[in-house]
């Protein structure tokens, strides 16, 4: 072979080699870029998952905090209502002896020959006081001629009766009993027929 042909062949081989290198280099760069893109996608996905977990935790904490606050608000308002109810119950309990005295005064005035004005005045005071207390939820416990009930009555004495239908029933009321909003605040003290 001639020198020129050898040089041509070398040149051609060189060019082919360079072209091969370039093609291989492009493939290598493309593979590197694909791997780099895949790793970026994985890191982005892991970051998204982490942020979603954080958001879920924060949301859960927020919901729990709101529920706790709502419970606190309800408990506080209930405690205030209970405090007012207890205070009013204590005040009304303190007025019950005054009601008893008014009832005794009315009973005595009915039997006496005193002036009609005294009777009317005492009755007016009793009616106003009882009306006000009833507006606050006070109610008398019915007792006379009722069946004896340990949930409402307290037996202070027993009295023998002849009639069979009066046995186990209340014969007399010693002290009137009261309920406040359905709750017994003083039991009726009664005499039960036996």
CATH number of the domain to which 191 belongs: 2.30.22.10
pTM beyond 0.85: no
> What backbone torsions phi and psi does residue 191 show, to the nearest 5 degrees?
-110, 125
Number of domains in the chain: 1
Residue among 150, 194, 142, 152 nearest 171 (CA): 194
Q: Are 143 and 175 in contact (CB under 8 A)?
A: no
Could you tell me if residue 36 is inside a domain?
Answer: no
Could you tell me if residue 163 is inside a domain?
Answer: yes
User: What does the DSSP 8-state code read for residue 56?
Assistant: H
Q: Which domain holds residue 187?
A: 139-194
Could you tell me if residue 167 is inside a domain?
Answer: yes
Q: Tell me, what's the pLDDT at 23?
A: 56
Give the SS3 label for residue 180: strand
Could you tell me if residue 124 is inside a domain?
Answer: no
Q: Are 123 and 147 in contact (CB under 8 A)?
A: no
Could you tell me if residue 106 is inside a domain?
Answer: no
Could you tell me if residue 170 is inside a domain?
Answer: yes
Provide the residue-wise pLDDT of the chain in tens; the chain has 194 residues. Answer: 566 667 677 767 777 766 665 555 554 555 667 777 888 888 999 999 999 999 999 999 999 999 999 999 999 999 998 888 777 888 899 999 999 999 998 888 888 887 788 888 889 999 999 999 999 889 999 988 888 888 999 999 988 888 888 888 898 899 999 999 888 999 999 999 88
Could you tell me if residue 180 is inside a domain?
Answer: yes
Q: Tell me, what's the pLDDT at 22?
A: 59
Could you tell me if residue 193 is inside a domain?
Answer: yes
Centre a 10 Å sphere on the Cβ of residue 187 and count the other Cβ atoms it contains: 19
């Amino acid at each position: 072979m001639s020198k020129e042909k050898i040089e041509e062949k070398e040149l051609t081989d060189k060019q082919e080699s360079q072209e091969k290198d370039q093609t291989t280099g492009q493939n290598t760069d493309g593979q590197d870029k694909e791997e780099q893109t895949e790793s970026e996608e994985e890191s982005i996905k892991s970051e998204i998952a982490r942020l979603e977990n954080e958001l879920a935790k924060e949301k859960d904490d927020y919901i729990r905090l709101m529920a706790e606050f709502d419970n606190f608000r309800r408990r506080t308002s209930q405690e205030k209502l209970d405090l007012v109810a207890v205070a009013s119950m204590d005040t009304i309990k303190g007025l019950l002896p005054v009601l008893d005295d008014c009832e005794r005064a009315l009973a005595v005035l009915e039997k006496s020959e005193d002036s009609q004005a005294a009777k009317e005045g005492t009755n007016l005071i009793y009616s106003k006081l009882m009306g006000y207390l009833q507006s606050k939820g006070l109610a008398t416990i019915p007792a006379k001629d009722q069946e004896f009930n340990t949930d409402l009555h307290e037996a202070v004495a027993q009295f023998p009766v002849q009639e069979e239908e009066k046995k186990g029933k209340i014969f007399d009321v010693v002290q009137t009993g009261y309920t406040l909003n359905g709750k017994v605040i003083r039991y009726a003290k009664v005499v039960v027929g036996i």
